[in-house]
Amino acid sequence: MNTNVTKNPIPAFGLGTFRLKGQVVIDSVKNGLDVGYRTIDTAQIYGNEAEVGQAIAESGVARESLFITTKIWTDNYAKGKLVPSLKDSLAKLRTDHVDLTLIHWPSPGNAVPVAEFMGALAEARAQGLTKHIGVSNFNIALMKEAIAAVGAQNIATNQIELHPYLQNRKVADFAKSAGIHITSYMTLAYGKVINDPVIEAIAKAHGATTAQVVLAWAMQLDYAVIPSSTKRANLEGNLKALQLKLTDADMAQIAALDRNERLTDPAGLSPAWD
């Protein structure tokens, strides 16, 4: 167990922008910032960094109040490509640095070794282009390689699909033992879990929405969450999950919903999942 871990830098609650494009993402980010979000998650492959940058610029929220995450796409993992690609992302985002930069998926067919892209990511941080670095969609074996390359204390998070139907406990437990924070994406499982009768009953007992219950569940397990929405009312509602405290019985009931149901498993990108 690594006891020499600095306090986790990842905010518990953020705004995701996956699948949001053009004016839709501009409106979502502006509304999110307006109702109180200060953490924004994007990626090179989302094709929306410029719109996210525009929305932030037009929001009037000071850059130092924000925590911005982007993710490097697989085409840019080679040592000579990663830093220039991040600089391009920064230009689109209209900032001189991001707060967190992640490797988005493992390198397909291990075309670029883990040590090479983690080294390039560490170099980006040394240049001041990003405050923190991390990974996404890494299994235990890949996390071990990343740790061997840069040290666990230099890996801020592993962002993975994690929701009540896919609780990813092996990966989460390994990450925790290494001092690596977990960020849950698709926490609402594309909306599938918000109609679950168990979650509906918990929500009713707390006078909360089912989305709030699921987001609160993940945060109580010490995972960060980055839900997205195009509706201002849902953005406001989701944020209220920060005030919701679930009971041990609630947590146990949600724990029992795990059925290893993976919704994101792109051929050619996915590792051998644990």
| Domain membership flag for residue 260 | no
| Domain membership flag for residue 196 | no
The stretches in the chain having pLDDT less than 70 are: 1-7
Q: What is the pTM of this model?
A: 0.95
| Residue 72 CA: distances (Å) to CA of 1, 134, 272 | 29, 10, 21
Side-by-side strand order, sheet with 181-185: 15-16, 39-41, 67-72, 98-103, 130-136, 157-161, 181-185, 224-225
| Residue 208 CA: distances (Å) to CA of 200, 239, 240 | 9, 12, 9
Within 10 angstroms of residue 227's Cβ, the number of other Cβ atoms is 23
The pLDDT of residue 8: 75
| Residue 227 CA: distances (Å) to CA of 42, 58, 63 | 12, 22, 21
Contacts of 250 (CB under 8 A, 6+ apart): 202, 205, 213, 217
The pLDDT of residue 50: 98
Contacts of 207 (CB under 8 A, 6+ apart): none
Q: How far apart are the C-alpha atoms of 2 and 151, rounded to whole Å?
A: 10
The pLDDT of residue 108: 96
The pLDDT of residue 7: 60
Tell me the catalytic residues: 46
The pLDDT of residue 9: 86
| Domain membership flag for residue 77 | yes
- pLDDT by residue (tens digit) across 221-273? 999 999 999 999 999 999 999 999 999 999 999 999 999 999 999 999 999 99
The pLDDT of residue 3: 37
The pLDDT of residue 2: 37
Domain interval for residue 161: 15-189+223-231
User: Domain holding 25: CATH number?
Assistant: 3.20.20.100
| Domain membership flag for residue 4 | no
Q: How far apart are the C-alpha atoms of 210 and 142, rounded to whole Å?
A: 34
Q: Can you say which residues are annotated as belonging to the binding site for substrate? A: 104
Specify whether the CB–CB gap between 85 and 249 falls below 8 A: no
| Domain membership flag for residue 106 | yes
Strand-pairing partners, residue 181, are 157
| Domain membership flag for residue 1 | no
Q: Can you say which residues are annotated as belonging to the binding site? A: 104
Specify whether the CB–CB gap between 134 and 158 falls below 8 A: yes
Within 10 angstroms of residue 264's Cβ, the number of other Cβ atoms is 14
Within 10 angstroms of residue 231's Cβ, the number of other Cβ atoms is 12
* Start-end of H helices in 75-222: 79-93, 114-126, 140-150, 169-178, 197-206, 210-220
Bridge-based pairing of strands 15-16 and 130-136 is unpaired
Question: What is the domain count for the chain?
Answer: 1
| Domain membership flag for residue 262 | no
| Domain membership flag for residue 265 | no
- DSSP run (H or E) holding 181: strand 181-185
